[in-house]
Structure 1
Amino acid sequence: MSVVTALVLAGVTLTHLAMLFLHIAPPNAVTARYGERIDAYVQPEFGQDWKLFAPNPLQRDEVVLARVRTRDEDGGHRTSEWTNLTARDIEEIRGNPAPSHVHQNMLRRAWDSYVATHGTSDRDTGVRAELATAYLKRVVLQRIGREWRGRPVVALQVGARFTLIPHPWRPAQGTGPGTVSRRTLPWWPVTERDHEGL
């Protein structure tokens, strides 16, 4: 085989692999400009129905917060300030060569599961919704504990703050990057049963 033939075959192979890669890669500057040509080359002979980078990266910065209501010795109640649980998890991950799944994903997935089963209503709509509520509550209690500053926790409230992440190569559409939205869930009573196994 001649050198010219080898170079042509290498060029065709590299072009083919590049087209397949760009077809399944997340949106980027090249696919924004040449997307139709790439799709025309790949479809229908080499079509893919999966993504190379799955799941898709987060499109917003999510911060999960919590506050508690405690009982004093005289029977009165106090409400704590909001605590940034996401920041606590990030501190546990930062600089750790083998971070725990608990600090990487558990809180975020508990929040996502709650939102997926409740929508915007915050009402239980079935067994999955009840499980999602219990899971989120227990994950938060795992981080807070039975007491807050020496007083027993009797109720818990969870909230979240979301900031849209600017798209790296495409101008914002609709709600702009940096836009902050919040969601606060209702107060949940905390009993001894909620702490079982934590």
Structure 2
Amino acid sequence: MPGRATAAELRALPGRATAADLPDSPGPGPVVDRLTDPGIPADADPRAGVEPRVGMAGLSLPYQIVAAGVLSVIGLIAGIQLAMVFLHVAPSNTLTKQHGEAVDQWIYPEFEQNWKLFAPNPLQQNIAVHVRAEISGPEKRRTTPWMSLSGEDGKAIRGNLLPSHVQQNELRRGWDFYLGSHDSQNRANGLRGRLSEQYIRRIVMLRLSEHDYGGDVLRIQVRSEVRSVAAPAWSDEKISTKPSYRVLPWWTVTAADLPKGSATSEEADQ
């Protein structure tokens, strides 16, 4: 005659078991539910005994393939970025000598690296970038007054709790890029210099396109105004705050300098 089932055997059976079914039970008692039994994982499937799949494993095969492809592309781009930055800051080596131009094209101007944050003598000057333009008119050409591009950025930033990266850094970093790649006679130092000049010209024309001058911009001229920061009131240091200027030559506007969709006066006449 078969004996009574043990507690472990009863727990293995589907459904519910009462205390009366257990060995040495004094009688009816509270119901024991296998789903609340501490011996069974809470996230287990009571019917199949298989834990649910999570993460990418829970996606269907097509979505798994797409997700894997996206992650692979992101990882590849991140790896290339790290490699380019490493080659940019590393001492001259065989790779940079052979592929230095490709590295510069990847890095400049958005990802340029420098050590000014850790300089023993941080910048103590206020630098503003100005521009004026030669405009075509119905009878003769005219030249606009100097306009402060840095001043426009300052107005957009003041009182703005979340100023954009462009307003804070585009012009400043572009001008710093230009100064670092040209000599005192405004002669470009190779590819970096040519890229920096092209970058400044595009920034200037983008800003000028926001104003209506009643004609086409034929030429532009850029200058910087540098003023030393005054010494604090408690200091005996004497610092001149008079401005000094660096004026660049006139640049003739070309199609490559214009914002997308614009045209020079020569192209408009054609």
**With structure 1 as the length reference, what TM-score do the two structures score?**
0.65
> Conserved in 2, the CA contact under 8 Å of 1:146 and 1:152?
no
Letter in 1 for 2:216: P
Instruction: List gaps (5 residues or longer) in structure 2.
Output: 1-114, 262-270
Confirm or deny: 8 A CA contact 2:135 2:213 kept in the other structure: no
Which of 133, 138, 148 is equivalent to 1:84?
148
**Paired residue for 1:183?**
246
- Aligned-pair distance for 1:197? 3.8
Return the alpha-carbon distance in structure 2 between the equivalents of residues 73 and 147 of structure 1: 18
1:135 aligns with 2:199: yes
> 1:66·1:158 contact (CA, 8 Å) conserved in 2?
yes
2:126 is equivalent to residue 71 of structure 1: no
Q: Residue 165 of structure 2 is aligned with which of 87, 91, 101? A: 101
Residue 193 of structure 1 and its aligned partner are, at CA, apart by 2.4
Cα distance in 1 between the residues matched to 2:211 and 2:157: 25
> 1:97, CA displacement in angstroms?
1.1
Query: In structure 2, do the counterparts of structure 1 residues 172 and 138 end up closer, same or farther at CA, with 3 Å as the change threshold?
Result: farther
Q: Which residue of 2 aligns with 1:155?
A: 219
Task: Tell me which structure has the larger Cα radius of gyration.
Answer: 2
Change in Cα spacing, 1:170 to 1:113, as seen in structure 2 (3 Å) is farther
Runs of at least 5 residues in structure 1 that lack an aligned partner in the other structure: 1-50
Structure 1 residues 57 and 105: alpha-carbon distance in aligned structure 2, compared to 1, 3 A threshold: farther
Structure showing greater relative contact order (alpha-carbon pairs closer than 8 Å, 6 or more residues apart): 1
Aligned-residue offset at 1:166: 2.9
Deviations 1:45-84 (A, max 9, x none): xxxxxx9x6577531011110000011134x311110001
Question: For residues 146 and 94 of structure 1, do their structure 2 counterparts lie closer, same or farther at Cα, with a shift above 3 Å needed?
Answer: closer
Instruction: Within 5 Å, give how 1:1-198 maps onto structure 2.
Output: 54=118, 57-74=122-139, 76-145=140-209, 148-168=212-232, 171-172=236-237, 176-197=239-260
Return the letter of the residue paired with 1:90: G
Task: Please report how far the alpha carbon of residue 179 of structure 1 lies from its aligned counterpart in structure 2 after TM superposition.
Answer: 3.3
The one-letter code of the counterpart of 1:66 is: V
Structure 1 residues 170 and 146: CA distance shift in structure 2, 3 A: closer
- May I ask how many residue pairs the two structures share in their alignment? 144
Residue identity over aligned pairs, in percent, reads 35
